[in-house]
Structure 1
Amino acid sequence: MNPSSGSVVFQNVRKTFGAFTAIHDLTLTVDPGTLVTLLGPSGCGKTTTLRMLAGLEHPTAGRIIIGGKDVTMLPANERDVSMVFQSYALFPHMNSLENVAYGLQSSGMNKKEARQKAEHGLELVGLAGLGNRLPAELSGGQQQRVAVARALVLEPQVLLLDEPLSNLDARLRRRVRTEIRDLQQRLQFTAVYVTHDQDEALAVSDKIVVMKDGEIAQEGSPRDLYEAPASSFIADFIGEANVLPCEIIDVSGAQATVSIEGLQHVVPARGARAGRGKLAVRPSAITLEPADDAAFAGRISHAAYLGDHIEYEAETSGGTLFVVDPMVDRPLSPGTRVSIGLKTRGIALILD
């Protein structure tokens, strides 16, 4: 565990702007040395939550505790946190080393020691030897790592990252998010990470907190949220899901037997009772076979080849299914009648 890492606790935090309530009674704990992602659509409250943690906004009610210290009303410069902004906010006239050393010198450290720590910071993020380059001479991913190094050398209890990859193209985002996760796990710093990108959250997080309308909709590990969504909103927001009405025929211990259009399937019961229910079915959990007569039947209405898989839309009496099929060698043409089957994984009862 990094000795500088601290916990974060929100206790019944509320934030209002005039008559508008942005955050409703938020209670959340971030354990030391973990990376927790605040995820949700625009306007859900994730950025307001991060700004309150940074001291850029103050709660209307409740408490914020960092490393056991109540910081609720402390200004930003009196909190032991560092922030990596969406724009990186690097000084264009300073080279990488000077950018990383700036905060250290501003806090009173002598120039020689600040330079040594800045060189070590650049080495930590894989930029050793690039200290003399200006931001304009670096790639987007390298600029992002300079911003992370500048924050890390201050040895904060908590590192805050606000949409840090949004300015990068898709391929670079994948690479840099891996670098951030590897760095966090190696150095064991506490991080709170804001994004609207579900794949990004799944890739970097120890815990994901999904927010909706200023409240926590669900929190848990990436696997928990993907495989056991608590609601239709979570099922569709964390990855894509087909939300289908079903009949819960029988519940026996931890297992439930459900029927969808006459097709029976066994899934984790999750506390459900016999009767009507809803099933979240991931696009990759659906199988399609050409057939004219089946218990759960449909017709292909759209097919798109994407290299390593084909995306289908299949019309059924219960609505349109979105299907991802890796069987690119046996494409199904629009108009084909199909029998719809379900795999073992990627299917969950949802309880809203």
Structure 2
Amino acid sequence: MTRKAGSVVFQNVRKTFGAFTAIPDLSLTVEPGTLVTLLGPSGCGKTTTLRMLAGLEHPTSGRILIGGKDVTMLPANERDVSMVFQSYALFPHMNSLENVAYGLQSSGMGKKEARERAENGLELVGLAGMGQRLPAELSGGQQQRVAVARALVLEPQVLLLDEPLSNLDARLRRRVRTEIRELQQRLEFTAVYVTHDQDEALAVSDRIIVMKDGRIAQEGSPRDLYETPASSFIADFIGEANVVPCDIVAVSDGKATISIEGLRHVVPALSARPGRAKLAVRPSAITLEPADDAAFPGRIRHAAYLGDHIEYEAETAGGTLFIVDPSVDRLLSPGTQVGIGLKTRGIAIIAE
């Protein structure tokens, strides 16, 4: 249904609001046919970036290109993009078919053709036969899909999604994000997706751009960001991580031997050099052993049974560790002395 997917390029874009600088200097590229997520905490600049791409804000300086065309100062209606808003913005007095056809008719398309395109759009998102239902007669997930269909039938070069799942409950959010990802991969349209939800970003993205204070803190594939965070901020923001001090004892053949409170372990070296460093350790990468069998002692401070896993907090000489243990057959009570071990995956030296 969509026309050829377009690229997105920001070249040294700066955005100020009076004396406040929201975006100091932003350069990024979104390749055609990919889904790229702008991820970050509130106030990091991700929504301002999306609004500039949509034409709802204009940069103070720099250039924005869509499909190779400079759109920096073009108004929203002259850009080849469609946007799915956080609130869905469906007309409550129109049924689903009329909502999807609205943009087509507003652009001058005949009523019959617009209706046919709208029906195809609803079928595309799995809502065939539901065109006569009003938004109030649809579930939250169905309303969200109507909003996506309304955007897609305009055949934009780029689809923009602003926190599209924030109004859904957790279970529905998981299902709908899968539907969005499958739809994007099947139709191969370019999508720029904004969220503050790390799990959502990991689940849907080809590439994630993590923003902090209007700048790019790190960008890469979900696996790259999770397994090789470039800073303590990234390590803690992309999934939870324990950031602990360590000593890099030796580096050889792309591997580093590190020492934490006497426990030695081998991890990917990247650009590490011998000396003091910080280590990002995922909660699931920590093992709990009998106290006599490990050189890294700890004491259970808190335990919480959550059905398919147990969450622990353990006090160690290097600080408190958060641990996710899949072994639900045992529950270690607070005060229990344990030995801390490390798995092979889920551990990375922080480059900062």
TM-score range, shorter chain: over 0.9
Paired residues in the alignment total 352
Q: Distance in 1 between matches of 2:152 and 2:65?
A: 20
Q: Distance in 2 between matches of 1:330 and 1:303?
A: 11
Give the superposition deviation at 1:105. Answer: 0.2
One-letter amino acid of the structure 2 residue matched with residue 255 of structure 1: K
TM-score (norm 2): 0.99
Q: Is the 8 A contact 2:2 2:152 kept in 1?
A: no
Residue in 1 that maps onto 2:32: 32
Q: Distance in 1 between matches of 2:276 and 2:351?
A: 11
One-letter amino acid of the structure 2 residue matched with residue 198 of structure 1: Q
- Aligned residue for 1:172, secondary structure, equals helix
Q: Distance in 2 between matches of 1:27 and 1:8?
A: 10
Moved more, 303-312 or 17-26: 17-26
TM-score (norm 1): 0.99
Deviations, residues 147-186 of structure 1 (Å, cap 9, x unaligned):
0000000000000000000000000000000000000000
Q: Is the 8 A contact 2:250 2:274 kept in 1?
A: yes
- Aligned residue for 1:48, secondary structure, equals helix
One-letter amino acid of the structure 2 residue matched with residue 7 of structure 1: S
Identity of aligned residues (%): 87
Q: Distance in 2 between matches of 1:227 and 1:250?
A: 21
Residue in 1 that maps onto 2:250: 250
List alignment gaps of at least 5 residues for structure 2: none
Residue in 2 that maps onto 1:109: 109
Q: Is the 8 A contact 1:10 1:63 kept in 2?
A: yes
- Aligned residue for 1:145, secondary structure, equals helix
- Following TM superposition, the consecutive aligned residue runs of length 4 or more in structure 1 with deviations greater than 3 angstroms are none
Q: Please tell me whether residue 166 in structure 1 is matched to residue 131 in structure 2.
A: no
Q: Is the 8 A contact 2:36 2:205 kept in 1?
A: yes
- Aligned residue for 1:339, secondary structure, equals strand
Residue in 1 that maps onto 2:5: 5
Deviations, residues 285-338 of structure 1 (Å, cap 9, x unaligned):
000013257410000010000000000000001110000000000221111100
| Aligned pairs (5 A) from 1:41-190 | 41-190=41-190
Residue in 2 that maps onto 1:269: 269
One-letter amino acid of the structure 2 residue matched with residue 96 of structure 1: S
Residue in 2 that maps onto 1:279: 279
Q: Distance in 2 between matches of 1:111 and 1:90?
A: 19
Q: Distance in 2 between matches of 1:110 and 1:282?
A: 56
Residue in 1 that maps onto 2:223: 223
Deviations, residues 82-112 of structure 1 (Å, cap 9, x unaligned):
0000000000000000000000000000000
- Aligned residue for 1:176, secondary structure, equals helix
Q: Distance in 2 between matches of 1:294 and 1:257?
A: 17
Residue in 2 that maps onto 1:198: 198
What is the alpha-carbon root mean square deviation over aligned residues?
Answer: 1.0
- Aligned residue for 1:147, secondary structure, equals helix
Q: Is the 8 A contact 2:289 2:338 kept in 1?
A: yes
Q: Please tell me whether residue 17 in structure 1 is matched to residue 17 in structure 2.
A: yes
Q: Distance in 1 between matches of 2:284 and 2:150?
A: 41
Q: Is the 8 A contact 2:249 2:258 kept in 1?
A: yes
| Aligned pairs (5 A) from 1:226-241 | 226-241=226-241
One-letter amino acid of the structure 2 residue matched with residue 345 of structure 1: R
Give the superposition deviation at 1:2. Answer: 5.8
One-letter amino acid of the structure 2 residue matched with residue 298 of structure 1: G
One-letter amino acid of the structure 1 residue matched with residue 322 of structure 2: F
Residue in 2 that maps onto 1:315: 315
List alignment gaps of at least 5 residues for structure 1: none
